[in-house]
Amino acid sequence: MHHACPLTALAPGEAMRLETSPPIAVFHTEDGELFALDDTCTHQDASLADGWVEGCEVECPLHASKFNLRTGEVDAPPAKLPVRAHKVFVVDGQIMVEESSHAPNLPPGLTINGHV
């Protein structure tokens, strides 16, 4: 499990990047829900934590690919591969992320710990 931050430190509508390998983005929606996805867009190397959240989607800031916050599936191209979705828990007021055991989908040319 990865510790993100206290729940009070991530305001609704905000996102943060965890410096894991690969990085994970944690999103706190305007509706108060918490989600975590791999932070790197599968189309090109861009941080989804820097993107725009609307409803249950995040839009990549680089080329406008959209990913479903619940599943990591692609909702709008140019990305074709999903990002991993991770489980999020609040334990004693702290946001905790349980990283998916699936291999990450990374953009072309990016490698992390031997994953391509």
pLDDT digits (tens, 9 = 90+) for 72-105: 999 999 999 999 999 999 999 999 999 999 999 9
Per domain, the residue ranges of the chain are 2-98
CATH class of 2-98: mainly beta
Q: How far apart are CA 23 and CA 65, in angstroms?
A: 18
What is the pTM for the complete model shown? 0.92
Tell me which amino acid residue 95 is.
Answer: I
Distances, alpha carbon 113 to alpha carbons 20, 77, 102, 103, in Å:
11, 27, 14, 11
Number of Cα atoms under 13 Å in the Cβ half of residue 22: 30
pLDDT in tens, 42-70: 999 999 999 999 999 999 999 999 999 99
